Structure 1
């Protein structure tokens, strides 16, 4: 299926074989490739605004429904959601599309997967844009162990979601998707937005509006439809598999991301406020990502910067891409050759 608008490069939607499994991808434009990875609860359409901007600027934008989401491969086993599997999916997408290298853009769990990909396959991934999740190298304790050590084992939101029936709280999708979009964003009044350690300010409270003003209604309807088809159980396996990834990454303990990187976060994001209550500086984050070029703090924005500040995020991505040194030219096309 091709979708185009005016002179904008058409959006190609298709199923491809990735390491023997079906994955749905969105593909737009030609040139050096930017591969987009989404988080929970989301689907590939979350990136349509950035994809259009990237494609119009002479790049190839590719987004996938990540493993466990939408129309992509969704095994039920938690063990199949470790970083070795999800990073393997990103590598497999490049293989299936005959792409030799890419810059990764990830949000939420998609940022976590993209960060592991930068460490595991520096030969393929030239740069990284992380939204909402800063990179932390593999340390001495897993995320969940550290949270429990910090006394958050009974209050941190994810522990409830990781229970075997945690997905039931997200049903029906027609209610939970609008709620998550609104409460996790910067739209609620101060003190009313999502708080990851206060259940009274959870993400699944009924939203006061059907669709936030900053959200594209078409994207929201497609996201709801995707989860009505797939459910939420397999998407939550990213949380459940986190400790498995921690064990698998033992050989990469302390390994930083050395490729160029950019971190974008919303000042009203409850998750960001928890993990860095004081705004992080470039110098602080370079301890784990020496190639970090900038930290972009978006005022009045919550957990959905790709929607709440869509044009700004696209502009930051394009500025970042302009500084990437691409190693291969076989998949760039004539237009990108002239850019270099």
Structure 2
């Protein structure tokens, strides 16, 4: 691995080999480890604010470009993106950094894969923070099968993203990144925000503003540049592989997450509202998520909670680490 100069202080940028493949990693601070996993369409840079806050609180913040994104390993075949593969990546990064155990934080697809990593390797991940995605254990039917049974096979947004044509449909990156950041946030008028089951309120509409006021222009520019370089194929493979993952994880059927957990979601997030139309309490989720200690709803915030409400999210994560994790981690 090798460090590189960085454009914000005290962050070590490095290339690590995880199970023989290269991954781009940001590493900041010293202390018990906190591993950050991003979603789609994003990179490790999405966690700038959270990494600073966690490092300042006495922890070691680590974020990686997930498989298929940014400067990390990006196999072409979607079958190489199952939760088994990605959990292997996360363990490989910890091994490369000589870290025995970490708290894992995830957003969007990163939250889903962080949850699966907690199930598969509780010895390596001793606590979880899930942003924008509630946990649901593997059951008898997959999400895809359930949605089709509900008559949503032509309406739910992710089916379109799993099609081969999606690679080209998302180009150019400059349009897609701006559209997704805007429409999935709470910035649009309430009646026009993204709805995951209403194609007329899709995420690829031209945004009404160039950059939302909550978004760091440097972050937006970085995201556009990253996807101009890589395209969207690797990220879209996370949608394409969902059924494959389901078939490979029968051994984890009905397994729950016992590790201390925090769930943070935006009250204006269309995806969260789809998963739970009524705001959930801990008691609503604890039957399948017994380790859950708190649910934090952020009013007037959309899907990009780590940006739209960065200070509040930082406070909640640091409070969770101090209250539930610090003594164990140290």
* Separation (CA, whole Å) in 2 of partners of 1:286 and 1:200: 35
Tell me, which stretches of 5 or more residues in structure 2 are unaligned? none
Counterpart-to-counterpart distance in 1, 2:305 and 2:321: 18
Give distance in 1, aligned partners of 2:326 and 2:49.
Answer: 24
TM-score w.r.t. length of structure 2: 0.97
Aligned to 1:165: 165
For structure 1, which segment, 163-172 or 254-263, has the greater mean C-alpha deviation from structure 2 after superposition? 163-172
Instruction: Specify the SS of the correspondent of 1:35.
Output: strand
Q: 2:182, 2:210 → 1: CA distance?
A: 9
SS in 1 for 2:325: coil
TM-score (ref. length: structure 1):
0.94
Q: How far did residue 199 of structure 1 move?
A: 1.1
Stretches of structure 1 that go unaligned for 5 or more consecutive residues are 330-340
Residue in structure 1 matched with residue 286 of structure 2 by the alignment: 286
Deviations 1:139-163 (A, max 9, x none): 0100000000011001111111111
Instruction: Give the distance between the partners of 1:128 and 1:18, measured in 2 at CA.
Output: 22
Aligned to 1:245: 245
1:234 Cα deviation after fit: 1.3
| Aligned-partner Cα distance in 2 for 1:72–1:181 | 22
Structure 1 distance, partners of 2:100, 2:260, is 18
Partner of 1:182: 182
Aligned length, in residue pairs: 326
Question: d(CA) in 2 for partners of 1:294 and 1:234?
Answer: 33
The Cα offsets for residues 109-158 of structure 1, whole Å up to 9 and x where unpaired, read as 00000000000000010100000000000101000000000110011111
**1:118-197 to 2 correspondence within 5 Å?**
118-197=118-197
The answer for the alignment partner of 1:310 in structure 2 is 310
Tell whether the 8 Å contact from 1:16 to 1:25 is kept in structure 2 after alignment: yes
Partner of 1:334: none
Instruction: Give runs of aligned pairs for residues 1-340 of structure 1, distance below 5 A.
Output: 1-3=4-6, 10-322=10-322, 323-324=324-325
Q: For 1:59 and 1:83, how far apart are their aligned partners in 2?
A: 26
Structure 1 residue 2 displacement after superposition: 3.7
Shift of 1:3: 3.2
Query: Distance in 2 between the 1:296 and 1:53 partners?
Result: 18
